[in-house]
């Protein structure tokens, strides 16, 4: 059972129709933005789809005793953010989702507790909804037992318990190392950690991290746990396919030197990076004034998100005619941008994008079950087809996730097939629309009046 709702998280009651600022999200960027706005005296409505603040990196456990292993720098940031929350008069309205903005500037919100929608008219909106995980398609990635690494990490943070059985962690990027170390600390180390790149082969790229020693300390924290747990870290190795055999997941892999290997596991955690989570969100405008903050704007991690959240709030305060003596910490964001660029070079996959040699039967859009072969056939028959036409005619990025998992991969395959010099943005398929995510018809139709009239 979930733990008690913190005092700073309150159920959504009928909000005032007119407010100054709507803040969507309660990760580092959302917390920092809400705290800055709270101090300015503007009226703020702060919402998150969970019942407590923290976001993905600082996901708070459902049970108080669930405490996954985190490096000291991550714990220190949460301590600082938690103090900012406690000092605010603005309270988080939990279990509330942003649905969309209509043509008159009304924000539609879904209150999950009462299964109703609410309408507010903000003068400004700050979207601080974090990043979205990127996972490359592989044959069998849609099978039960295949997770995203981020999803498994959220489970671990919420419950303190790893999935039972053998776990294989594979893909590309630092998050996989963190997950593997946290699984080991929780008592179930993965059978192996497979990395498509080889950060040990590019030591010069790591020199840029000397300006951010926090990241080096975090890396040593996680790698030490992996060494102690004797987890094999196989670099320059990618997953070729996943299939279910005799109740287990058989994972076929290949190193860049051509060596083949296989692993049997009960769970497979895949991860190939993160990207900003702007899917479906409206772009900036005048009414209301819209700002994207933190990883929602640029995926640079929790430290940059906190600084950018404060900076976005100051931008809104200035736009609305308020006054503030604070200044945006642009240097923190710039420094984290350089660090993330260095990490991208360190973890650069040894075999390129991983999309060029996928078998036709590989599922690309998991929501609609559409395959790589079906996309290739559509492109062969219509060489000049637009991304929008691919979505409408092929139903790619058309499902419940609205392209969060397949739009960027689909766009990359289209660009290659059409010989385009520049990448096609995922938004070319996903678009901007509301509802941003599925919402029940019942909540849209429910009577908002707590004492509804019996008359027509």
Tell me the per-residue pLDDT of 240-293, one tens digit each, with 9 for 90 and over.
999 999 999 999 999 988 899 999 999 999 999 999 888 878 877 667 999 999
Q: Is the model more confident about 327 or about 143?
A: 143
What is the model's pLDDT at position 329?
81
Q: Is the model more confident about 361 or about 62?
A: 361
Average pLDDT rounded to a whole number, residues 361-376 = 95
Cα angle: 28, vertex 312, 305; to 5 degrees = 30
* Torsion angle defined by CA atoms of residues 77, 82, 87 and 90, in that order, rounded to the nearest 10 degrees: 110
pLDDT tens figures, 22-34: 999 999 999 999 9
- Torsion sign over Cα 382, 388, 393, 398: positive
What does each C-alpha distance from 290 to 22, 105, 312, 395 come to in angstroms? 10, 11, 10, 30
User: Does residue 178 come out as left (phi exceeding 0), alpha (psi in the -120 to 50 range) or beta?
Assistant: alpha
Average pLDDT rounded to a whole number, residues 40-52 = 94
pLDDT more than 70, % of the chain: 91
Distance CA 263, CA 270 (A): 14
Strands 370-371 and 363-365: antiparallel
Q: Does the pLDDT at position 432 exceed 80?
A: no
Are the CB atoms for 277 and 437 separated by under 8 Å? no
- Torsion sign over Cα 440, 442, 444, 446: negative
Q: pTM, whole model, 2 decimals? A: 0.90
What is the model's pLDDT at position 305?
96
Q: What are phi and psi of 212, to 5 degrees?
A: -130, 70
pLDDT tens figures, 105-160: 889 999 988 888 888 999 999 999 999 999 999 999 999 999 999 999 999 988 88
Average pLDDT rounded to a whole number, residues 400-409 = 87
Question: Which residues partner with 265 through β-bridges?
Answer: 249
Strands 267-271 and 96-101: unpaired
């Amino acid at each position: 059972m979930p733990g008690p709702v913190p005092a700073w998280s309150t159920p959504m009651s009928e909000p005032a129709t007119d407010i100054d600022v709507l803040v969507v999200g309660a990760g580092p960027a959302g917390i920092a933005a809400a705290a800055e706005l709270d101090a300015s005296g503007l009226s703020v409505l702060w919402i998150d789809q969970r019942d407590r603040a923290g976001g993905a990196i600082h996901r708070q456990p459902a049970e108080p005793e669930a405490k996954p292993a985190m490096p000291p720098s991550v714990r220190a940031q949460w301590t600082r953010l938690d103090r900012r929350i406690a000092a605010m008069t603005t309270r988080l309205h939990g279990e509330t989702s942003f649905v969309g903005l209509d043509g008159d500037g009304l924000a539609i919100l879904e209150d999950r507790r009462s299964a109703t929608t609410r309408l507010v008219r903000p003068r400004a909106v700050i979207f601080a909804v974090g990043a979205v995980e990127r996972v490359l398609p592989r044959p069998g990635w849609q099978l039960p037992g295949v997770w995203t690494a981020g999803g498994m990490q959220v489970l671990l943070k919420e419950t303190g318990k790893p999935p039972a059985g053998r776990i294989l962690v594979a893909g590309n990027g630092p998050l996989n190392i963190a997950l593997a170390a946290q699984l080991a600390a929780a008592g179930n180390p993965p059978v192996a950690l497979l990395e498509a790149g080889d950060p040990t082969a590019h030591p010069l790229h790591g020199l840029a991290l000397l300006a951010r020693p926090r990241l080096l300390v975090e890396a040593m924290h996680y790698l030490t746990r992996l060494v102690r747990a004797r987890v094999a870290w196989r670099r320059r190795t990618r997953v070729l396919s996943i299939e279910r055999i005799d109740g287990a997941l058989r994972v076929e892999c290949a190193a860049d030197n051509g060596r083949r290997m296989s692993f049997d596991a009960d769970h497979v955690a895949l991860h190939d990076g993160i990207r900003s989570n702007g899917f479906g969100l409206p772009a900036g405008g005048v009414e209301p004034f819209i700002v994207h903050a933190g990883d929602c704007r640029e995926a640079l991690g929790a430290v940059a998100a906190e600084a950018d959240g404060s900076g976005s709030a100051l931008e809104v305060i200035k736009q609305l005619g308020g006054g503030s003596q604070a200044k945006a910490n642009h240097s923190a964001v710039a420094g984290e941008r350089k660090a993330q660029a260095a990490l991208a070079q360190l973890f650069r996959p040894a075999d390129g994008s991983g999309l060029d040699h996928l078998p036709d039967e590989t599922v690309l859009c998991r929501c609609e079950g559409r395959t790589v072969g079906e996309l290739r056939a559509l492109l062969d028959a219509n060489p000049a087809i637009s991304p929008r036409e691919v979505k409408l005619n092929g139903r790619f990025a058309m499902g419940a996730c609205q392209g969060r998992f397949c739009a960027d991969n689909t766009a990359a395959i289209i660009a290659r097939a059409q010989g385009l010099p520049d990448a096609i943005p995922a938004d070319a398929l996903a678009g901007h629309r509301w509802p941003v995510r599925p919402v029940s018809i019942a909540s849209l139709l429910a009577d908002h009046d707590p004492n509804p009239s019996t008359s027509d």
